[in-house]
């Protein structure tokens, strides 16, 4: 996990108080690139997939499995430098999928070829493997409240669990695919 430009660190801190009747956690999530820049899920598709997938996988640990991948569909265009004019013939439809191991698959399709001629459509499949590392630390602190006579009236424990997940993407592979999946 050497290339810092392709690395995201997710810090998930949960604090549990034993005085609560049920297991209540107060999660604090921080998503950062290795240069300490925050992820921007509203503007970046990869960021949105990481956030969506991480939250879903954490919910799956506590509940029944729901979703094991994140998907985003969008159009990608090229425009002249310093202009707002786009080149229509260079527009591509992109289907981005991130699986539970954070591997990325993107299917890029041209938008110029009519759906009646799918066999002529230019499609490329980009696969980018990911490596993940997770470190978890648990810190417990015991507290007590004593009464005026020095007797212990209440005892409790605060447990802080910190999980740091690092995701790093490696070099990808681009393949030509046939539009009908063959």
Please write down the HEC assignment for all residues of the chain: CCCHHHEEEEEEEEEEECCCCCCCECCEEEEEECCCCECCCCCCHHHHHHHHHHHHHHHHHHCCCCCCEEEEEEEEEEECCCCCCEEEEEEEEEEEEEECCCCEEEEEEECCCCHHHHHHCCEEEEEECEEEEEEEEEEEEEEEEECCCCCEEEEEEEEEEEEEEEEEECCCEEEEECCCCC
Place of tokens 């999946």: 181
Residue 59's beta-bridge partner residues? none
| Count of the separate structural domains present in the chain | 1
Residues 6+ apart with CB under 8 A from 17: 24, 156, 157, 158
Does a structural domain hold residue 105? yes
Does a structural domain hold residue 96? yes
Residue-level pLDDT at 60? 55
CA distance between the termini of the chain: 34
Residue-level pLDDT at 2? 45
Residue-level pLDDT at 139? 95
Calculate the CA 101 to chain-centre distance. 10
Residue-level pLDDT at 180? 57
Does a structural domain hold residue 10? yes
Nearest alpha-carbon partner for 135 in 3, 2, 9: 9
Domain boundaries, position 95 = 4-177
- The CA distance from 47 to 27, in Å, is 19
Does a structural domain hold residue 132? yes
- The pTM (predicted TM-score) of the whole model is 0.70
Does a structural domain hold residue 182? no
Residue-level pLDDT at 65? 52
Does a structural domain hold residue 135? yes
Tens-digit pLDDT string for the chain (182 aa): 344 457 889 998 888 888 875 555 557 888 888 888 888 888 887 888 888 888 877 765 655 455 578 888 888 777 777 777 766 667 788 888 998 889 999 888 877 777 777 677 778 888 999 999 999 999 999 999 898 998 988 898 988 889 999 999 877 777 777 655 54
CA dihedral for 72, 171, 66, 48, sign (positive or negative): negative
């Amino acid at each position: 996990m050497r290339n810092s430009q392709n690395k995201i660190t997710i810090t998930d801190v949960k604090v549990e108080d034993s005085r609560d009747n049920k297991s209540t956690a107060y999660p604090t999530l921080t998503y950062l690139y290795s240069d300490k820049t925050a992820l921007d899920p509203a503007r970046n598709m990869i960021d949105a997939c990481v956030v969506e997938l991480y939250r879903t996988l954490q919910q799956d640990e506590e509940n029944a499995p729901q979703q094991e991948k994140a998907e985003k569909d969008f159009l990608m265009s090229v425009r002249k430098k310093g202009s707002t004019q786009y080149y229509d013939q260079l527009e591509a439809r992109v289907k981005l999928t991130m699986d539970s191991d954070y591997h990325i698959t993107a299917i890029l399709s041209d938008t110029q070829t009519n759906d009646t001629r799918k066999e002529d459509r230019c499609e490329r499949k980009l696969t980018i493997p990911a490596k993940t590392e997770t470190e978890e630390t648990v810190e417990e602190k015991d507290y007590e409240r004593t009464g005026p006579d020095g007797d212990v009236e209440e005892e409790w424990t605060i447990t802080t669990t910190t999980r740091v997940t690092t995701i790093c993407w490696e070099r990808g592979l681009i393949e030509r695919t046939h539009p009908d999946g063959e």
